[in-house]
Amino acid sequence: PYDMLVVGAGPAGASAAIYSARKGIRTGIVAERMGGQVADTVGIENFISVKATEGPKLVAGLETHVRDYDVDVMTSQRVTSLKRNKLVEIELDNGAVLKSRSVILSTGARWRQLGVPGEEQYRGSGVAYCPHCDGPLFKGKKVAVIGGGNSGIEAAIDLANIVEHVTVLEFDASLRADEVLQKKARSMDNIDIILNAQTTEITGDGKRVNGLTYKERTSDTLKTIELAGVFVQIGLVPNTEFLQGSEVELTGRGEIIIQSNGSTTMPGVFAAGDATTEPFKQIIIAMGGGATAALGAFDYLMRESVS
Ligand code: FAD
């Protein structure tokens, strides 16, 4: 068996695997894909000490760093369940079972997609999901934020300080964001809020986004807006479906509940990164979380081996 088995090889998992291997204990990392969301990212400008880099470059760096240590790297493997049977057992979709004394869950998350024409085509060329990451790329331009929940209104306020103008499109008849956020957004003169708006298409010139079309649900008429960017803010979905019914407690939104040392409700199982209740979903934060979870798990192993 492993001493520490990491599930997921994004920034959180890579960091956890390195911290574990550096303790000289038997470490494995199992994941569908090396790098996670970073593999889908174009420009990264907030990875502190590296002024600017690109997703694939950072992924290559993560992989080289992990492989520099004595870590069993198992990619193209999907985990389907987790249970305790003295050791923690992780089942893979090919039927194999991996056993470990401790486990770190770092399966990340995915942005909920709108599912309209143009979204896929212009992803990274005007269609964005992370205002902290991509906001500055739209400096002085017009953008839309789709979604009027807390993340959408926070994004609009954040972006309004950088871009020329923000249009918020909300499907429902009212915004779901906290009242203070709504008030703040309404007080900014470069934010417009459109309710009852169903986005039906993101348009472009073949290279980049140039606008969007929405249906005004009260009148059933189609309207268009000219824009340079569209931020989709309709939720982040944690990749934790495989934990449903396990001892690992999730929030209503599917996030793994963690304590400050990365521990979950299941003894010996720790978690880090976007799959957890960590409120901010960023590369540098996921890496810090991975380090915390590995140190938390190592502490657990030291105590467990005595008892
Ligand atoms: P992830 O990166 O999501 O990695 C999850 C890992 O788990 C992957 O290896 C995946 O294959 C694996 N996995 C998932 N489910 C299973 C399963 N059942 N079995 C096995 N393996 C599984 N952040 C920044 O700080 N700066 C940026 O500029 C930036 N830009 C972004 C741009 C885009 C387009 C996106 C999508 C995100 C961006 N982010 C950015 C956010 C950042 O990428 C995430 O916060 C970070 O990757 C989270 O790391 P993680 O390790 O928790 O999860």
What domains, with CATH codes, occur in the chain?
Answer: 2-111+236-304 (3.50.50.60), 127-232 (3.50.50.60)
Confidence at residue 93, expressed as pLDDT on a 0 to 100 scale: 96
Q: What is the largest CA-CA distance in the chain?
A: 70
User: Could you identify the atom of ligand 1 that is nearest to the CA of residue 242?
Assistant: 18
Ligand 1 atom nearest 128 alpha carbon: 34
Query: What average pLDDT does this structure show over 200-209?
Result: 97
Residue located via tokens 């499907």:
171
71 CA to middle of ligand 1, Å?
20
Q: Binding site: which residues?
A: 3-18, 142-156, 264-274
Instruction: Give residue 40's pLDDT.
Output: 83
pLDDT tens-digit series, residues 131-160:
988 999 999 999 999 999 999 999 999 999
Rounded mean pLDDT of 86-115? 96
End-to-end CA distance of the chain: 19
Which pLDDT score, from 0 to 100, does residue 42 have? 76
Question: Is beta strand 87-92 parallel, antiparallel or unpaired with respect to 221-226?
Answer: unpaired
Please give the model's pTM, rounded to 2 decimal places. 0.87
Please check whether residue 129 is in contact with residue 274, taking contact to mean a CB–CB distance below 8 angstroms: no
Q: Is 11 in the pocket of ligand 1 (CB under 6 A)?
A: yes
Contacts from 183-187 at CB under 8 Å and sequence distance 24+? Answer: 184/153, 184/157, 185/153, 185/156, 185/157, 185/160
The model's pLDDT over 255-288, given as tens digits with 9 standing for 90+, comes to 999 999 999 999 999 999 999 999 999 999 999 9
Does the CB atom of residue 107 touch ligand 1 within 6 A?
A: yes
Distance of CA 188 from the midpoint of ligand 1 (Å): 32
Quickly state the pLDDT bin for 306 (edges 50, 70, 90): low
pLDDT at 305: 72
